[in-house]
Amino acid sequence: MRIAVLGTGTVGRALAGRLSELGHDVMVGTRDVGDTMARTEPDGMGNPPFPMWAAAHPAVKVGDLAEAAVHGELVVNATSGAASVAVLQAAGEGSLAGKVVIDVANPLDFSHGRPPTLLVKDTDSLGEQIQAAFPTARVVKTLNTMNARLMADPKQLADGDHSVFVSGNDADAKAVVTGLLHELGHTDVIDLGDITTARGPEMVLPIWVRLMGPMGTPLFNFKIVR
């Protein structure tokens, strides 16, 4: 499958690299390819400069946001939640029309310091905002409740025996995403319902952030026991 991954940070790199390993034709989308490929300093999360990652993943293409959106039969939003709608607008509404758009971002608000709060919650979600902004796209919210490493390779923890959620209005789109999740190694995929149910997984983030300290690692996840 041709897949566009929008975002060059920790999440975008993890998913793009893993999807490429699985045989997909992946293009990473960034605002300015020249600027991105000229970086020589670690990013804000301490990751090595993107050109180093790209050199280690030669099968992954790099393009601007519009090029990536055109390339992808399926588009992954792996950008900062606060910028997600603007990034997708830059990618082009027409290029997203009819496509499955997987939203893995979280609407984290760091304006008052850490730990972050949420930009939207309770009566709205980032997933819903993206669906409203791009009504012809088929948005599916998933993977946002775990660390990037587990998103891409869940078997790193408990042999993959933990839960992931999907929310979206289109049953066929959720089936495509569920298949991709299984391909990544996720075994417990729970369909929560339409896109309004994305509010729940997004509101999991405050407890996830607070768990990371006592756990001493981001390599943990939730398991729904039933």
Encode pLDDT of 209-223 as tens digits.
Answer: 999 999 999 999 999
Q: Summarize pLDDT for 19-63 with one digit per residue, the tens.
A: 999 999 999 999 999 999 999 888 877 889 999 999 999 999 999
Residue at 189 is within a domain: yes
Please check whether residue 222 lies inside any domain of the structure.
Answer: no
Asked whether residue 169 is assigned to any structural domain, the reply reads: yes
Q: Indicate whether 201 belongs to any domain.
A: yes
Its domain, for residue 20, covers: 2-215
Count of domains forming the chain = 1
190: its two tokens: 């729970």
Q: What's the pLDDT at 82?
A: 93
| Residue 200 is assigned to a structural domain of this protein | yes
Instruction: Look up the CATH number of the domain holding residue 199.
Output: 3.40.50.720
Q: Is residue 193 part of a domain?
A: yes
